[in-house]
Structure 1
Amino acid sequence: MGDYGQAVSSLTAQVPGSNPPSSVTDSDEISVLVTGFGPFKSNLVNASYLIASSLPSAFTFSPTPSKNSDATPRRVSIHVHPSPIPVAYSTVSTTIPAILDDYVKAHGRRPDIVLHMGIAGMRKFYSVETKAHRDGYVMSDIKGRAGYEDGEKHWRELDLPLMLKAGPVTESEEISVIASPEKGHLIPRPPDDNFLVAWKTFCPPETDARISTDAGRYLCEFIFYTSLAQAYHGGHDRNVSFLHVPATCLDEDIELGKEVAIALIKALVTSWSDEQVPSNP
């Protein structure tokens, strides 16, 4: 099966990282819940979980100033799920709700950002996904099953949308939040060209980072839709993002992947903090 990388003992225990002191209060802290996948097919080790488990437990940074936001330092806490998610539709459909429930029980609130990561074997670049589809998961998982019974069938019964993106609860609430935003409140929106600029600003030089409109209709897109659907059905902000990383597991590639993932989180905080009208969900 291979080494998944350094494990953590609980939802709140993290791989040690560099955590600079911060004057930001806990109420302003941005919490991020992160998952990565386990092995599948010829990928005996999954780079997404190696990258996830290498992330620091917290960091502080100053968002890039824009006309709608300032550069007030933000402290970010990262909570990595302590084991890789099996590449199986049935497991994802039951595990993701349980992970969110456990997080709420442990922290008293939902995370500000949910970030799922997976590998894209044919891509040599990093890509953030823009949308996830409800139907069409026909490729077999590690259990030899397609995704209809554990996803599409249930989602159709709930009359969920054919496609979901990051976004606020409803368009009407979107307006009220923008008119009178809570302090530190993030307004999720799908990544766009401005987001890509911010992400690349935080990435190491020459990083090939892109926006993708095709998450692959396999477990990566399935977990993305599962999280978005859970938020949508539960009446919560769809504060979910998905990062595709290259499959290579060399030490230097995992280190770069860690820096790119941190840059993505910084870009999400920066973009979602802007008090501007988001893209249509």
Structure 2
Amino acid sequence: MGSNNAYGGEEEINVLITGFGPFKQEYPLNPSWEIASRLPAVLPPLRAKQPSTQKPPLIPRVNLHVHPEPIHVSYKTVRELVPKLWAPNFADSSSTSSSSSNPLPPTPTPTAAEATTSSEAPFSEQDAAAAAANEEPEKKPKYDFAIHIGMAGPQPRWAIERLAHRDGYALRDVDGEFLRDRENQLRDGDDWVWKGCPAELRTDLDLDVILEKWRGYCAPPGGLVVASGSGSGSEGGVEEGHGGKDGGKDGKDGGEGGKKEGGGKAKLWYGNDIKGGAKGEKLVISEDPGRYLCDFIYYSSLAELHKRKAEKRVVFLHVPCKLGKDGEYVRIGQELMLGLVRSVVEWLVDEKKRKGDLR
């Protein structure tokens, strides 16, 4: 059966996904990486009974490119890494043409006699594998969009962030270092990496449309009931600096999510009430990513695209800081990530139909 490809031909969509590493001693396993690292390489097809708010459009193959390592929770690491993540999108052929203008002299092919005298095994299997690997480095794809994942408070709530901030990073990272960007900005002037970037950057993805699609894919039929503790929210605010009105820092949402139902279980997965009012919403749009590493990597990605005058197709997803009993939050997070990816892709397909070109 042919692929459901709305782009035509063999065109595919490539998604960059990142997660963070350990956060201090309290979180040796960061749920953002636990979720990201368990994602499949290709977005799977919808299940027969997958819930949806509408008939889903046909989409091409979607490749999920998870950054191979959890990102160290430090300003220095993020600042050095983000331009490298986006480099494939802006690869310039001039580098290859300039190198070809001064080619190295050809290496003479050894004669059979020279080969046999130089080694008992002139070309072993290991040599062949090494030569093949060195012949042409793996070409990284151009990413159609990126999703950065980080952890927030303990409440069972998943928030996609609409914007990120350039300034205001007053907390130390896990290495005990401050960003000190204000000092760099004043001292270095033109050398400052974010010179000319606005204080606030917003994603170019239409999160309102994407949220509606995402909610349509979020919950299994009838909802899912999982075991939990009291859900008092006493651990609210211990996260990667995420706060603000949407962060649930006071733990209120954690308490609401943990109300016990019969049999000592709490309904942390919400079925139909996901589209309800403020108390029932567990998939939300936030406008305060927290002025810490989550905010910082989000702004770094947006700024990199802004400086390149490219569309800012990036979104940040905040997930609960707890793994949940037997890892149920991780499993839920995986399903939500796949639903979020599909929702963004569907929006891109709609954009293609409207504009005729995704990139």
User: Is the structural similarity TM-score above 0.5?
Assistant: yes
Separation (CA, whole Å) in 2 of partners of 1:159 and 1:30: 31
Over 3 Å counting, the alpha-carbon distance change for 1:108 and 1:246 in structure 2 is closer
Counterpart AA for 2:81: T
Q: Does 1:51 align with 2:35?
A: yes
User: Which of 65, 73, 76 matches 1:87?
Assistant: 73
CA contact (8 A) 2:73 2:174 kept: yes
Across the two proteins, how many residue pairs are aligned to each other? 233
- Provide the residue aligned with 1:219 in structure 2: 293
* Deviation of 1:155 (Å): 4.5
Counterpart AA for 1:43: Y
- Provide the residue aligned with 1:201 in structure 2: 216
Separation (CA, whole Å) in 1 of partners of 2:43 and 2:183: 35
Q: Residues 1-281 of structure 1 correspond to what in structure 2 (within 5 A)? A: 22=3, 24=5, 27-41=10-24, 42-61=26-45, 71-101=57-87, 106-107=138-139, 109-149=141-181, 153=185, 154-156=192-194, 158-167=195-204, 189-192=205-208, 194-205=209-220, 206=270, 208-250=282-324, 251-275=327-351
Name the Cα RMSD after superposition.
Answer: 2.9
Over 3 Å counting, the alpha-carbon distance change for 1:230 and 1:116 in structure 2 is same
* Deviation of 1:146 (Å): 2.0
The percent of aligned pairs where both chains have the same amino acid is 34
Task: Name the TM-score, length of structure 1 as normaliser.
Answer: 0.74
Where structure 1 has 5 or more consecutive residues not aligned to the other structure, the ranges are 1-19, 168-188
Task: Name the TM-score, length of structure 2 as normaliser.
Answer: 0.59
- Provide the residue aligned with 2:97 in structure 1: none
* Deviation of 1:141 (Å): 0.2
- Provide the residue aligned with 2:260 in structure 1: none
* Deviation of 1:152 (Å): 7.4
CA contact (8 A) 2:30 2:321 kept: yes
CA contact (8 A) 1:89 1:151 kept: no
Separation (CA, whole Å) in 2 of partners of 1:247 and 1:234: 33
Counterpart AA for 1:254: V
* Deviation of 1:22 (Å): 3.0
Q: Radius of gyration: which is bigger?
A: 2
Over 3 Å counting, the alpha-carbon distance change for 1:93 and 1:210 in structure 2 is same
Separation (CA, whole Å) in 2 of partners of 1:267 and 1:112: 13
Over 3 Å counting, the alpha-carbon distance change for 1:135 and 1:152 in structure 2 is farther
Q: Secondary structure at the match of 1:72?
A: coil
Over 3 Å counting, the alpha-carbon distance change for 1:133 and 1:190 in structure 2 is farther
Separation (CA, whole Å) in 2 of partners of 1:127 and 1:65: 19
Q: Choose 102-111 or 254-263, whichever is displaced more.
A: 102-111
Separation (CA, whole Å) in 2 of partners of 1:212 and 1:23: 32
Separation (CA, whole Å) in 2 of partners of 1:155 and 1:244: 26
Over 3 Å counting, the alpha-carbon distance change for 1:138 and 1:74 in structure 2 is same
CA contact (8 A) 1:89 1:150 kept: no
Separation (CA, whole Å) in 2 of partners of 1:143 and 1:130: 28
Separation (CA, whole Å) in 2 of partners of 1:160 and 1:242: 19
Over 3 Å counting, the alpha-carbon distance change for 1:21 and 1:97 in structure 2 is farther
Separation (CA, whole Å) in 2 of partners of 1:123 and 1:227: 27
Counterpart AA for 2:41: S
Map Cα deviations across residues 58-84 of structure 1 (whole Å, 9 max, x no partner). Answer: 02547x798xx9722332110111110
CA contact (8 A) 2:18 2:66 kept: yes
Q: Secondary structure at the match of 1:58?
A: coil
Q: Secondary structure at the match of 1:236?
A: coil
Map Cα deviations across residues 55-110 of structure 1 (whole Å, 9 max, x no partner). Answer: 11102547x798xx972233211011111000000100001212233686844652
Map Cα deviations across residues 108-139 of structure 1 (whole Å, 9 max, x no partner). Answer: 65200111000002443001000001111111
CA contact (8 A) 1:32 1:115 kept: yes
